[in-house]
Structure 1
Amino acid sequence: MSQKIRFYAKLAKVWQLSLYLVFIPLVFTSCSKQVPPPEPCGPTPTERQLAWHQMEQYAFIHFTTNTFTDLEWGYGDESTSVFNPTALDANQWAKTIKEAGLKGIILTCKHHDGFCLWPSEYTEHDIANSPYKDGNGNVVEEVYEACKKYDLKFGIYLSPWDRNHAKYGTPEYVEYYRNQLKELFSKYGPVFEMWFDGANGGDGYYGGANEKRKIDGSTYYDWPTTLRMVREMEPEVIFFSDAGPDIRWCGNERGSMGETNWNTITPDTLYAGKSGITKLLNRGSEDGTAWIPAEVDVSIRPGWFYHADEDDQVRTPENLFKIYLESVGRGANLLLNIPPDRRGLIHENDVTSLKEWKQMIDDAFKTNLALNAGVDASSVRGKSKDYSGPNVTDANPETYWATNDEELTGHLVINLEGAKSVNYVVLQEYIKLGQRVKTFDVEALVDGNWEIVKTATTIGYKRIIPVGGIQTDKIKISITESKACPVISNVEVY
């Protein structure tokens, strides 16, 4: 071969190699190009709301002079001398609540009667003027320290209505209320939730006036200013009232959220007490303009405060489990009231019921049959592994299955590797991108045929579907209607 031919042959090989080195990376880059995630759909939760969702359930503690006068709403004329628990142990409260699987305590620092469970410099109607610890007690501090000891979050309920205070109904009382919030939030923190309700105005002692006083709940407290003041002291606090602004009431005190539960509503007020909206609060609004999820508040006893004649009326573990399924299992958080008795202890009957309830939850949700199970998806967004079916069984809350934007329906098949008895299916949306699913079916493969075992609406942060012990080796989740492409982060099977 001549030198010229050898030269051109070498030159051709160099060109081939150059083209290979340039072309292959371009192909690889093109094939591995990241598929963009779905755009958010409607309102989405803030970081503090996401943290609140993850708590799922926590305790309410109603404890004040009412405990000793056998009332639910004190009139405000109760003597401070009646408050005298003989064996108060906040650690017993916290230990009981922790062992029940609850993650925090909201304490009634002041109820409607106006008696303060801490020594307040703004009133004489407080614990400092009671026999408890010879006037040196501070139940707020004791509960706060017990929460720290047992790794529970601490919350505050300070009633806006005060039937004791002589200035209630005037601007001076609003200043008093804010000063007490400053006392609490400057001494005890972090505070995960500030709770206030719609009981505003009515008959009361009012410093001896013994009269009925009405206020305009929409303007009297100037809630935007009050909440802004609190937020400056505690940036991550969640505010609860009937309609928000961070979380809303569920519309009843039965312990039941609507089977349809949108985390969104359109708020027209920041004040508590707006009437005629209980249905809206229980279901939410598909087209709501703000993310304001629901909290289910219910008491373990008929009353919110301890009454000895209710010792045999404590909710059974089975009833508490039903409440769990109809609150946490429908995408709301559960606030379970557990009132201490006159000793200052959670009564033995309540403790027993709580322990057995926790055991029922542990037994029901002990073994996730879907953990790391194989998943077949009807379609995958951009055919990308980033949005594939197995993301729903990997126990990672930050991964999810998604379809293409134009696909508003789809299904996932969970392979259980052999016939299993299935009692519950747990579903979660990736709510950082909003709440999307409107309707869905849970199906089971039985004798080679798919059977619909539940047709339901809305998922949100969490949905627990009881399916009654069906025998199957495959579970199908079929999204039948969605506001935008479905985004499912988790499927569990028990």
Structure 2
Amino acid sequence: MALLEEWRQKMERITQIKPSSRQLGWQVMGFYGFIHFGLNTYTNQEWGDGTASPSLFLPEQLDCVAWVQTMKAAGMKGAILTCKHHDGFCLWPSKFTDYSVASSPWKNGQGDVVRKFAEACHQENFKFGIYLSPWDRAEASYGTGEAYNDYFANQLTELLTNYGDVFEVWFDGANGESEGKVQPYDWERYYQIIRKLQPEAVIAVCGPDVRWVGNEAGTARENEWSVVPIELRDAEKIAERSQKVDDGKFAKQIASTDEDLGSRKVLANYHGELIWYPAEVNTSIRPGWFYHEAEDELVKPATTLFEIYRKSVGGNCTFLLNIPPNPSGQIATRDVETLKELGQLIEQFDKPLPANIEKQVVSTTNHELYKISCPTPQRLNMILLGEDISRSQLVEAFEIRATINGQLVSIYQGESIGYKRMVEIELITTDYLEIEVLASRAQPKIDKIALYLIEK
């Protein structure tokens, strides 16, 4: 009885952990893009060392509006631009360094990629986000302590002040310690700047709002929990695995101990602080993060990307897909075609099958039953569920049953739901289904139920 009472009290505390308004707004987006672009695009590198000449940067056909339109066609709601990668080259004319577009021949040094992209986003009603690498291999003050933190804070302030609303700030955890430069990043100072200048922006990866899922191959967990131990907030601040090429091995580097981060079993044995820290799945449409001509035939097929979408956006995560422009400043033809195909696949979720949903009160505490009737028998292979996560993530077990050949049979049993759960099943024909919540941390509220016949 003592253990039962201890768990009950813990559940009361857990169910009080809920998303902030900025986290809710971010979760609703679901799918958005990453744009890796810079000097690495011209040197055929992934991690530049800060010595490449700005004279190489010459995107003569830069078309940020086309970037945005291509990503919108894929179903994305916004995008994050690598304003400065590890090489330190800035895609805007920063007042604090000459290592930027101001020193390039592009537009005679008068260009600003960040402004072009931000304006394109705002023009197309598309969310704008920034990536700013704390590791800077070109800046002389890197590794000196406070002087570099001042430099970084100044650049962060420029980006958050001069380019309109920002929905996400993405901080990579890579650093220069392998090169003998130890720079203590003043994370709290960075966060304070963001909260002051862009209060609705989430801070991702090395930040308090959005958690890195743990790999960069687009792999989501079967059960992804948003209420997790606070220690995960600092896990990526030295991210040795960050920004890797998907070589087929990296996807398998998720340790078994990391597979379950927030189930009842895990939390029962955890006595520290818990936080709302949802996961973001990220991967690139190509093996690399920056454009490489040799990878033009290695673009992931739309069907592969759609499966990642289903398991990430449909697995209580968001999906961040990288699209690298080529040296001319355009997105390559193969990528454009693939993203259009992906968008057509995702558009199927705009057309749910006709169904009437009735909620039935179940006397057992924290149980709910939903009855779904269709006007005529429907062929279906996908069921979308979702919780009202403003009340926390509550569902721990559920079952789906359907009438098939006159018999009500179980067709799926799952655990977590979260913001969205896209349940793929074998093709069935039915006019009646039941969804029952079997276990929940408090009285649940399912606010999304839809049936689909999805063609792949």
Question: TM-score band, normalised by the shorter chain?
Answer: 0.7 to 0.9
Query: In the alignment, is residue 252 of structure 1 matched against residue 252 of structure 2?
Result: no
Q: Counterpart in 2 of 1:16?
A: none
1:320-335 correspondence to structure 2 within 5 Å: 320-335=305-320
Which SS does the other structure have where 1:246 is aligned?
Answer: coil
**1:212-239 Cα distance to aligned partner (Å, 9 max, x none):** 3234xxxx11211221122111111110
Query: In the alignment, is residue 226 of structure 1 matched against residue 211 of structure 2?
Result: no
Superposition deviation, residue 137 in structure 1: 0.7
Q: Counterparts of 2:75 and 2:105 in 1: how far apart (Å)?
A: 34
Q: Counterpart in 2 of 1:214?
A: 182
Superposition deviation, residue 374 in structure 1: 4.0
Taking every aligned residue pair, what percent have the same amino acid on both sides? 42
Q: Counterpart in 2 of 1:180?
A: 155
Q: Please tell me the residue identity of whatever aligns with 1:172.
A: A
1:442-461 correspondence to structure 2 within 5 Å: 442-461=400-419
The 10-residue stretch of structure 1 (423-432 or 408-417) with the greater mean CA deviation from structure 2: 408-417
Superposition deviation, residue 274 in structure 1: 5.8
The 10-residue stretch of structure 1 (292-301 or 442-451) with the greater mean CA deviation from structure 2: 442-451
Which SS does the other structure have where 2:297 is aligned?
Answer: helix
Q: Counterparts of 1:192 and 1:484 in 2: how far apart (Å)?
A: 31
Q: Counterpart in 2 of 1:347?
A: 332
Q: Counterparts of 1:267 and 1:195 in 2: how far apart (Å)?
A: 19
Unpaired runs of 5+ residues, structure 1, are: 1-37, 204-210, 380-403
**1:90-117 Cα distance to aligned partner (Å, 9 max, x none):** 1110111112111111000000000000
Cα contact 1:40–1:433 (8 A) shared by 2: no
Alignment match of 1:63 (pick from 37, 44, 55):
37
1:28-177 correspondence to structure 2 within 5 Å: 41-170=15-144, 171-177=146-152
Query: In the alignment, is residue 284 of structure 1 matched against residue 261 of structure 2?
Result: yes
The 10-residue stretch of structure 1 (83-92 or 287-296) with the greater mean CA deviation from structure 2: 287-296
Superposition deviation, residue 273 in structure 1: 2.3
Unpaired runs of 5+ residues, structure 2, are: 1-11, 242-252, 268-272
**1:317-370 Cα distance to aligned partner (Å, 9 max, x none):** 10011011111010101111000001100001000000011111223x243225
TM-score (norm 1): 0.81
Cα contact 1:42–1:289 (8 A) shared by 2: no
Cα contact 1:80–1:125 (8 A) shared by 2: yes
Cα contact 1:257–1:283 (8 A) shared by 2: no
Which SS does the other structure have where 1:191 is aligned?
Answer: coil
**Alpha-carbon distance change, 370 to 486 in structure 1, aligned in 2, over 3 angstroms:** farther
**Alpha-carbon distance change, 105 to 474 in structure 1, aligned in 2, over 3 angstroms:** same
TM-score (norm 2): 0.87
**Alpha-carbon distance change, 98 to 282 in structure 1, aligned in 2, over 3 angstroms:** farther
Which SS does the other structure have where 2:121 is aligned?
Answer: helix
Q: Please tell me the residue identity of whatever aligns with 1:493.
A: L
Q: Counterparts of 2:327 and 2:425 in 1: how far apart (Å)?
A: 43
Cα contact 2:14–2:274 (8 A) shared by 1: no
Which SS does the other structure have where 2:408 is aligned?
Answer: strand
**Alpha-carbon distance change, 153 to 282 in structure 1, aligned in 2, over 3 angstroms:** farther
Query: In the alignment, is residue 422 of structure 1 matched against residue 380 of structure 2?
Result: yes
Q: Counterpart in 2 of 1:191?
A: 166
RMSD, matched Cα: 2.1
**1:49-101 Cα distance to aligned partner (Å, 9 max, x none):** 11111111111000000000000000111111111112111111011111211
Q: Counterpart in 2 of 1:368?
A: 352
Q: Counterparts of 2:240 and 2:140 in 1: how far apart (Å)?
A: 27
**1:260-310 Cα distance to aligned partner (Å, 9 max, x none):** 110111223546226799557665324471111111111001000000000
Q: Counterparts of 1:273 and 1:450 in 2: how far apart (Å)?
A: 52
Query: In the alignment, is residue 273 of structure 1 matched against residue 241 of structure 2?
Result: no
Q: Counterparts of 1:462 and 1:77 in 2: how far apart (Å)?
A: 45
Cα contact 1:83–1:130 (8 A) shared by 2: yes
Q: Counterparts of 1:81 and 1:457 in 2: how far apart (Å)?
A: 55
Q: Counterparts of 2:261 and 2:239 in 1: how far apart (Å)?
A: 15
State the number of aligned residues: 418
